[in-house]
Structure 1
Amino acid sequence: MAKLIKLYEENPNEKQIQEVVKVLRDGGIIIYPTDTVYGLGCDINNNRALERIAQIRGVKLEKANFSFVCESLSDVSGYVKQMDTSVFKMLKRALPGPYTFILEGNNNLPSVFKKKKTVGLRVPDNNIARAIVRELGSPIISTSIRDEDEVIEYTTDPELIYEKWEKLVDVIIDGGYGGNIASTVIDLTQGEPVLVREGKGSLEI
């Protein structure tokens, strides 16, 4: 049964953040707020937790398109090949914000992701998400929690999220109502930026 933890984005409680991070370090899975939709996340360095998320999602871990949620742009640069100036400037303008950027991964990627060669990176404009990553000291793997009801698409009410997910995850963070528009996904591996999915983030960056 998942534990429900209430956190306030303006000032996330440090003790509760530490409690969430302990769960992540122990191989747990959390549901947490971002600047777009609620995400399902775990520590990128814990293979057991990664397998659990892949199983919940019904995908093979090696083929899964999970994002890495980082605390800052400098964290992002630790997992990707050297960025040229135009890419770096675009990321600097856009982050933190509702974007996922696809970039070429470097040798710091966890072994299960090395075959993929590319990685989707996020720095959400949400203090709770970034406080968790900062305390953990490494990114969290993340995937949006979709709703089977295609009209809603994403569940936004933490209480409804708890009802649905309490037996599947270890911690659910109530950070208030979430959004129901996902991040804008931009592929930066082709030289020119390629829009993969238009979401909450403006295309004027």
Structure 2
Amino acid sequence: MPRVIEVHPENPQARLLKQAADILHGGGVAAVPTDSSYALVCHLDDKAAAEKLRRIREVDDKHHLTLLCRDLSELASYARVDNKQYRLLKHATPGPYTFLLEATKEVPRRVSHPSRRTIGLRVPEHKMLQELLDVFGQPLLSTTLIPPGETEPLNDPEEIRERFRGQVEIVLDAGACPMAPTTVVDLTGDEPVLVRLGRGDPAKLGLSA
């Protein structure tokens, strides 16, 4: 049975975040709230944890996984970005946007798209998650917590615990999420392309829905 850790959404307790970070560093998978919906997260460099993440969601290697970053200072290690792209990212982060970018060699091949060598990246605007990332000390690999065969993400920590027994180690409970996916924008071409309309307003990026 996953352990549910209740944390304050605005003033999360440092000792609880440390416990969660230790579990993630040890190869665990966690369910965490974000500024869009609950997500599954694990250590980027842990092959077994990343494979477990995909098994839980029942997605293959063509499903884009996303790096949750504290801020854009972590960007250069994982994605190739020109000045134009960086200005757009700076304007839209933190916030409910996921950007598809060309991955660097620092990103393990097993977590990038197999044919395109791309990776999803986002900087969430969620106080608890931001502080967890700070305590963890590096980006987390993530995917939206949508049960296999369903289309909507889960939003109730107790339901997540019941439905994912033996699959996730912890559930961080900081209250309900907005229950809307991120807006996904592909930045790998000459111009930004809106891939999925979600909570983030595309007009902020100069795009139309």
TM-score (norm 2): 0.90
Deviations 1:116-154 (A, max 9, x none): 41110011001221222222222111111115685x812
Structure 1 residue 68: deviation in Å?
A: 0.7
**Deviation by residue 1:93-124 (Cα, 9 ceiling, x = unmatched):** 11010000001011111242364411100110
CA distance in structure 1 between the partners assigned to 2:76 and 2:118 by the alignment: 13
Q: Match of 2:207?
A: none
Q: Does residue 46 of the first structure (1) align with residue 46 of the second (2)?
A: yes
Q: 1:148 to 1:117 in 2, by over 3 A?
A: closer
Once the 2 structures are TM-superposed, how far is the Cα of residue 45 of structure 1 from its aligned partner? 0.9
Q: Report SS of the residue matched to 1:133.
A: helix
- The residue aligned with 1:162 is 161
Where in structure 2 are the equivalents of 1:56-75 lying within 5 Å? 56-60=56-60, 62-75=61-74
| Structure 2: distance between partners of 1:51 and 1:147 | 16
Moved more, 155-164 or 13-22: 155-164
Q: Is the 2:71–2:123 Cα contact (8 Å) retained in structure 1?
A: yes
1:97–1:125 CA contact under 8 A, matched in 2: yes
Say if 2:57 and 2:148, in contact at 8 Å, map to a contact too: no
Contact in 1 for aligned 2:102/2:188 (Cα 8 Å): yes
SS in 2 for 1:167: coil
Aligned residues: 202
Q: Is the 8 A contact 2:183 2:197 kept in 1?
A: yes
Please show how residues 39-188 of structure 1 align to structure 2 within 5 Å.
39-60=39-60, 62-81=61-80, 83-113=81-111, 115=114, 116-147=116-147, 153-188=152-187
Structure 2 residue aligned with 1:195: 194
Secondary structure of 1:36's counterpart equals coil
Provide the aligned C-alpha RMSD in A: 1.7
Output the amino acid matched with 1:185.
Answer: V
**SS of match in other structure, 1:63:** coil
Percent identity reads 35
Residue number in structure 2 paired with 1:18: 18
Do the aligned residues in 1 keep the contact of 2:57 with 2:147 (CA within 8 Å)? no
- Offset of residue 65 of structure 1: 1.2
Runs of 4+ off more than 3 Å: 113-116, 147-150
Q: Which range is displaced more, 154-163 or 72-81?
A: 154-163
Do 2:27 and 2:42's aligned partners in 1 also have CA atoms closer than 8 Å? yes
The amino acid that maps onto 1:178 is: C
Distance in 1 of aligned mates of 2:94 and 2:26? 28
CA-to-aligned-CA distance 1:25-58 (integer Å, 9 cap, x gap): 1100000000000001101011111111111122
Runs (5+) with no aligned partner, structure 1: none
